[in-house]
A and B are shown apart, each in its own frame.
Chain A
Amino acid sequence: MSSRAAYAAAADELASRVLRALRGAGGAALVAPHLDSSPDALAALAAVRVIGADTFTPHILTGAPFHAADAAAVARAFEEFPVPGSGPSARPDERTAAWRDWATAQLLARTRGYVGNPVATVPPEAGDDLTDTTDWQRWSVRMAQLAPLATPCLDGPVRDAARGAALPLSRGLTRSVLRRDFPTAVRLLRWLALLRHDGIALPVDPEPVLEHVRLLGGASPRTALDLAVAAHLLGDGTHAGTTNTRGTNARSTNGNGTDPDNRADSDTSAGAGTGTGTTPHLPTEAQA
């Protein structure tokens, strides 16, 4: 029986692998070795669902290959844990999980060389819960939970909702920083970075927030990964390559590791070219 701690440790371990790959440790398979090396197979599979669409981040942002073996490993995680309901009667957390699964499934389906797609790629029903930002506090926490969808190659109702909500996202970000809830802050920063990437004007300047949460935000590998994605989307290639090394037990990858130039450009091209696909999973932390 896997403990909660084992699940968290496995998610951190996979996040660290993704981060190393994003920094250019590149080319090697990610998910398959994660599963092979884990002392707790169930926790390792759960971690794949937790990290979800972010597993594809090095591929999307830098064009690193996503291996067919990795895709198969992602698919196994879906077989192990059922996809939650996503209809109108589903609980909000189930609907959030369904969107994350949808994102992973989208990316899995695009993986070149992967045949077989065990996961539905039909999007969950988009309801008012995505577009009604009246309760911007709760809405922005949910968007933080949907941060794996804040990636350049995934269009859809969640991204559309974010595009129309620069102010609620910015308020949520500001609130999170003031509450010192840095994991949530970084996830919301990802959305704002994506909006900036899309040329949308923001009420808050994201770069100083990026540096602030980088300095104060703690050492969790998952937060470091979110930070690296945000930095990348903001065109901060240097920082994307050096984010928070202390916290991630990632070894330094310098040498050819950092690529300060035009990583943002690769955002758009990589996703379109090589397909990858899979589905995401539920957030493990609930932020209030």
Chain B
Amino acid sequence: MTISAPVATAARAMADRALSWLHAHRALGALPPGTTEELTDPDGVYKPLGESTLAASVILRDGMAGPGQLAAAQSLMDFTWLQLRKGDMLYERQLRHTLMTDPLEMYAHFVRCGYRHAELDRLLAHRARLRSVHSVELLPNRRLAVANAARIAGLDHGEDFGALARTTWLGATPEPWAINWITAYAMTHTVFHLTDWGGRPEGLPAPLTSYVRTWLPVWIDIWREVQQWDLVAELLIVGASLSEPYCNPDDWEAMAALQHEDGLVPCDGDPVDDDPARRFKEHQHTTVVAAVAGSIALARAARAQ
């Protein structure tokens, strides 16, 4: 299945409007004044900052957006880079916590677009040589996240992606009817990291590609039915990242139709709050996912031509 015109239309609307929203509301995602590398609540603002960075970096990498949108993506990255004190904060956090992986993972999004921090590069290179670092016990899909970040950052972690893939839930090509919500997220992330967010579709081993193609329509169907839009949007990324993309126009049009006029994409079927801060807190992730999904689908459509 190639990416049809209706999918491309929905993908462009999703990506453009989602990026506009992320850019327009970026100040709501700023770190509180005085934030140091000792984050008391890393998932509160710091992680979302990384997610917005991811969306902007994929849009810049894919280059499918118009000039205005590319400028907005660059501006969003500049904003998040400044929030992290041009990488100093990532450096300090990595320096203080040798075994933590989030500074590397977040840095990789910047490296993808040419942002570098020399001291952090040196620190990461040192860290990459430690057996301790490689022996930290992580869930397999998390291990893939770190391996992909290291690959982007130009660090040789010596990881065998194929072997790592086999240790994930997806790698077992398990019973497709015995999946749950959190495992579905684990599956999507396995695909994200093996394909580097749709940039290397061939990174997903052929048997896993075939398995995902077989069952993705079912999983999209059931999570659409219960309006788990955040997960559905992640599943759309998965479909767009396959070597032969699976992008069903009905799914994409449904997702695009959910998007608010200002670009927000709701995380689920519950009513969306009017308060700007709550809107950002609750729906920023889904809007990031929608932006990434749209950008990847457009890039795949362009590559197919």
Contacts and interface: CB of A to CB of B under 8 A. Distances in A.
Interface of A: 136-137, 167, 170-171, 173-175, 177-179, 203-205, 208-209, 212
B273 interface: no
A177 B179 CA distance: 10
Given A174-B176, A204-B175, A212-B178, 8 more contacts: A171-B218, A173-B177, A174-B215, A175-B218, A178-B177, A204-B176, A205-B175, A209-B175
B177 A177 contact: yes
A205 B217 CA distance: 18
A179 B215 contact: no
A171 B175 contact: no
B2 interface: no
A43 to B, nearest CB: 34
A192 B290 CA distance: 37
B225 interface: yes
Q: Is the interface of A mostly helix, strand, loop or mixed?
A: helix
A205 B175 CA distance: 8
Nearest to A208: B175
Interface residues of B, number: 13
B222 A175 contact: yes
B221 A137 contact: yes
Interface in B207-254: 214-215, 217-219, 221-222, 225
A136 B216 CA distance: 13
Nearest to A179: B222
A212 B218 contact: no
A137 B222 CA distance: 10
Interface core residue of A167, A179, A205 (most chain B CB under 10 Å)? A179
Contacts of B178: 177, 212
Contacts of A136: 217
Interface in B165-216: 175-179, 214-215
A68 to B, nearest CB: 43
A233 to B, nearest CB: 19
20 contacts: A136-B217, A137-B221, A167-B214, A171-B215, A171-B217, A174-B176, A174-B177, A175-B218, A175-B222, A177-B177, A178-B218, A178-B219, A178-B222, A204-B175, A204-B177, A205-B175, A208-B175, A209-B175, A209-B177, A212-B177
Contacts of A209: 175, 177
A209 B221 CA distance: 20
Interface of B: 175-179, 214-215, 217-219, 221-222, 225
Nearest to B176: A174
B180 to A, nearest CB: 9
B214 A175 contact: no
B175 A179 contact: no
A209 B214 CA distance: 17
A175 B215 CA distance: 9
Contact of A203 (B214, B221, B225): B214
Nearest to B226: A179
B128 to A, nearest CB: 41
A208 B214 CA distance: 18
What are the 10 closest A-B residue pairs judged by CB atoms, nearest first? A177-B177, A174-B177, A174-B218, A178-B222, A174-B176, A175-B218, A171-B218, A203-B214, A178-B177, A208-B175
B271 to A, nearest CB: 25
B211 to A, nearest CB: 9
A209 B215 CA distance: 15
B210 to A, nearest CB: 10
Contacts of A137: 221
Contacts of A179: 222, 225
Contacts of A178: 177, 179, 218-219, 222
Contacts of A173: 177
Nearest to B177: A177
A212 B176 CA distance: 13
A118 to B, nearest CB: 42
A120 B219 CA distance: 42
A87 B179 CA distance: 41
A204 to B, nearest CB: 7
A170 B215 CA distance: 9
A208 B175 CA distance: 8
Contacts of B217: 136, 171
B17 to A, nearest CB: 29
A209 B178 CA distance: 9
Interface core residue of A167, A174, A175, A204 (most chain B CB under 10 Å)? A174
Contacts of B175: 204-205, 208-209
Interface core residue of B177, B214, B215 (most chain A CB under 10 Å)? B177
B117 to A, nearest CB: 45
